[in-house]
Amino acid sequence: MDNGIFERNTKGVREKLKGKKIGIAGCGGLGSNLAINLVRMGADNLVLVDFDVIEPSNLNRQQYFQEDIGKAKVETLKNLLLKINPCLAGRQAKSEIRISKQKLNPNNIIEKFKNCEVVAECFDCADQKAMLVNTLLVNGFKVVAVSGLAGDGDPQDIKIKYIRPDFVMIGDERSKCGCGAGLISARVSVAAAYQAWAVYKLCD
């Protein structure tokens, strides 16, 4: 039972996402917004990986609240998603949210996202983005990544670019990315929405 959550969804969207295992690497600005978009579209099998806890500076763009400060991002995000769709608690076949409070590295990426249809890269730092994307692509995963969100540029400049059939890049191709770069919620939210759309399109 979904209690009518998807009555207004475009026909076929939920059906395409249903049962597809989707990985989200990073549960901050991109990852939290992306996960909410996907669940509202009908995704019901998510893998959330993030080692971090929520800090006050996260609240300008991430889907968390004052009472969440100090809590693990993966656990808090899972609880938020269950408030949207309680059916994701794992009581139905292939309906589940798996979480891992662990830092990703080349030695554990494949294990964490095993059997995922698509993995979304939602990191902050350029070197970590490259490490994750390269590891996933070499091992045959489909990837949706983001680069170029910093600053207050026009959100319309953020584009979806198909680098190859299994790799989609989202960003303005100009703004620098990096740990600590200035970010505003409008641009982060646009990129996360584009990520959700690209993940949907890459699901077979």
Residue 72, domain member (yes or no): yes
Domain tally for the chain?
1
pTM check: above 0.75? yes
Residue 4, domain member (yes or no): no
CATH of the domain at 32: 3.40.50.720
Residue 7, domain member (yes or no): no
d(CA 72, CA 75): 6
Residue 2, domain member (yes or no): no
> Could you read off the pLDDT tens digit of each residue along the chain, which spans 204 residues?
566 899 999 999 999 999 999 999 999 999 999 999 999 999 999 999 999 999 999 999 999 999 999 999 999 999 999 999 999 987 665 789 999 999 999 999 999 999 999 999 999 999 999 999 999 999 999 999 999 787 788 889 999 999 999 999 999 877 765 555 688 999 999 999 999 999 999 997
Residue 6, domain member (yes or no): no
Q: Which residue has the tokens 């800090």?
A: 55
**Residues facing residue 119 across a β-bridge:** 23, 143
